[in-house]
């Protein structure tokens, strides 16, 4: 018998500024300070262990240190950031084993943490970092889910999301966010798609227990216990902020300065357009068949010293990179040993079709590779510090085809 269920919920969730407090203490010596680095003889230094009294002595904090360095602190009116979240879901049963669910999800973040960095605001300090409540965010999504519970050896779960996330900044720290919060008019111009804004996302997982024919005992031993799994994921392109790397500040504040847009010039080059000679194209193919048009942007106006006098009119996260699609496939077999003990053999193939997924194009307009993707998505997501905190491309979506074999003892 089919049933329909309506569910809803609402919540208020408060956060802390603890991450930025840690940054100020660990990286910036809150409220000000100094540091020294010792190098061992193995890499050309003079320090040996145990340290001498001179090496172990903490560095002195002097007026010269403070003037050449910076001061770091919190807005005295800083308040706890909070998020309002709500959802409404309609679930419909399709027979005894299957359900279809449609959900609306909403979230608004207010008083979100954002740090800004300023230069030359005082003769006593070279720079000043201030943690504030300057950012806000909004998220809305439609989610569709189909679920089939295990029946006749088959179970499945598929999920589709159409969503849109906007904010002023997607990271609270100045280390990960260069859209400055304190410049006149900049907060509004920085509002745009979140760094993680994926408009369309689809995933499907399926498991099937292969029935073994009831024939001879030997055939049954060979064929029984096998299962296959498939997992498909596909998503649309994430946003990219194009910026002019010739500038590092705006009105004496740290900022990622975006370029101006040339009217009537398309943002993207496709296919054979990339083969045209610069500046109309790249003079070579675009990885992934798409690139940012280097002829579509121009630096913002500058003053007599060559410093930008305003933010470029290109919006934050205005362009889109590449979508991603991947199919993972696995087969496994259980070998029962006794009632509570079994051995499982697994063979798993990631990105089974070896489908190429490309990283976002280089977004620095003054870079020699601007507008072109220079690596695969798996490498990009793994970061440049694999083994030291970065995750290997083998364990990321968007890597090349890889196969692993495993034995698992379950008890």
Question: Which residue is associated with the tokens 């920085």?
Answer: 190
- pLDDT score at 367: 83
CA distances from residue 206 to 98, 192, 229, 230 in whole angstroms, order as listed: 13, 36, 6, 5
Q: Is the dihedral of CA 27, 28, 31, 33 positive or negative?
A: positive
pLDDT digits (tens, 9 = 90+) for 225-282: 789 999 999 999 999 999 999 988 887 777 888 999 999 999 999 999 999 988 888 9
Residue 244 included in any domain:
no
State the average pLDDT over residues 361-373. Answer: 92
| 292 close to 274: Cβ distance less than 8 angstroms | no
- pLDDT score at 216: 65
Burial (CB count within 10 angstroms: exposed 0-12, middle 13-18, buried 19+), residue 409: exposed
Residue 163 included in any domain:
no
Residue 182 included in any domain:
no
Residue 392 included in any domain:
yes
Q: How many domains would you assign to the chain?
A: 1
State the average pLDDT over residues 171-185. Answer: 62
Highest mean pLDDT among 20-24, 289-293, 337-341: 289-293
What global pTM score does this model have? Answer: 0.83
- pLDDT score at 2: 62
Among 66, 29, 178, CA closest to 116? 178
- Residue with more model confidence, 26 or 187: 26
- Residue with more model confidence, 42 or 284: 284
Residue 293, both tokens: 């048009």
| 127 close to 168: Cβ distance less than 8 angstroms | no
Residue 317 included in any domain:
no
Name the residue range of residue 337's domain: 200-235+323-411
- pLDDT score at 331: 93
Separation CA 200–CA 202 (nearest Å) = 7
Residue 393 included in any domain:
yes
Contacts of 263 by beta carbon, 8 Å cutoff, 6+ apart: none
- pLDDT score at 65: 67
Separation CA 195–CA 259 (nearest Å) = 18
Percent of the chain having pLDDT more than 70?
89
Among 343, 347, 350, CA closest to 325? 350
- pLDDT score at 268: 96
Residue 365 included in any domain:
yes
Residue 167 included in any domain:
no
- pLDDT score at 273: 93
- pLDDT score at 279: 84
- pLDDT score at 296: 95
Burial (CB count within 10 angstroms: exposed 0-12, middle 13-18, buried 19+), residue 411: exposed
- pLDDT score at 390: 66
Separation CA 53–CA 228 (nearest Å) = 65
Q: What confidence tier does 96 reach under pLDDT thresholds 50, 70, 90? A: confident
| 286 close to 274: Cβ distance less than 8 angstroms | yes
Mean pLDDT (the chain, rounded): 86
pLDDT digits (tens, 9 = 90+) for 308-331: 988 889 988 999 999 999 999 999
């Amino acid at each position: 018998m089919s049933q329909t269920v309506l569910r809803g919920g609402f919540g208020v969730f408060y956060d802390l500024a603890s991450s930025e407090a840690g940054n100020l203490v660990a990286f910036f010596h809150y409220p000000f300070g100094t540091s020294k680095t010792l190098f061992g003889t193995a890499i050309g230094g003079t320090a040996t262990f145990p340290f001498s009294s001179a090496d172990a002595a903490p560095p002195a904090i002097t007026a010269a240190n403070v003037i050449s360095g910076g001061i770091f602190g919190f807005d005295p009116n800083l308040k706890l950031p909070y998020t309002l979240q709500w959802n409404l879901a309609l679930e419909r049963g399709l027979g005894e084993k299957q359900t279809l669910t449609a959900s609306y999800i909403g979230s608004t973040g207010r008083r979100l943490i954002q740090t800004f960095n300023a230069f030359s605001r005082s003769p006593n300090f070279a720079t000043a970092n201030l943690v504030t409540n300057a950012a806000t965010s909004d998220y809305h999504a439609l989610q569709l889910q189909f679920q089939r519970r295990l029946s006749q050896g088959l179970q499945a779960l598929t999920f589709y999301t159409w969503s849109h996330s906007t904010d002023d900044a997607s990271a609270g720290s100045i280390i990960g966010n260069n859209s400055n919060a304190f410049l006149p008019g900049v907060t509004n111009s920085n509002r745009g798609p979140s760094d993680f804004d994926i408009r369309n996302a689809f995933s499907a997982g399926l498991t099937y227990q292969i029935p073994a024919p009831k024939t001879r005992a030997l055939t049954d031993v060979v064929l029984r216990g096998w299962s296959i799994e498939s997992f498909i994921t596909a998503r649309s392109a994430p946003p990219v902020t194009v910026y002019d790397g010739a500038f590092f500040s705006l009105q004496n504040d740290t900022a990622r300065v975006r370029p101006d847009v040339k009217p009537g010039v398309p943002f993207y080059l496709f296919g054979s357009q990339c083969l045209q000679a610069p500046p109309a194209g790249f003079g070579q193919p675009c990885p992934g068949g798409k690139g940012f048009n280097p002829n579509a942007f121009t630096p913002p106006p500058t003053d007599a010293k060559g410093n930008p006098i305003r933010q470029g009119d290109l919006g934050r996260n205005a362009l889109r990179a590449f979508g991603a699609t991947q199919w993972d496939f696995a087969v496994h077999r259980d070998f029962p040993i006794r009632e509570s003990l079994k051995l499982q053999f697994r063979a798993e193939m990631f990105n089974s079709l070896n489908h190429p997924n490309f990283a976002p194009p280089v977004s620095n307009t003054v870079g020699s590779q601007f507008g072109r993707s220079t690596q695969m998505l798996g490498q990009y997501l793994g970061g440049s510090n694999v083994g030291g905190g970065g995750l290997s491309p083998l364990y990321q979506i968007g890597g090349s085809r890889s196969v692993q074999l495993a034995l698992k003892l379950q008890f």
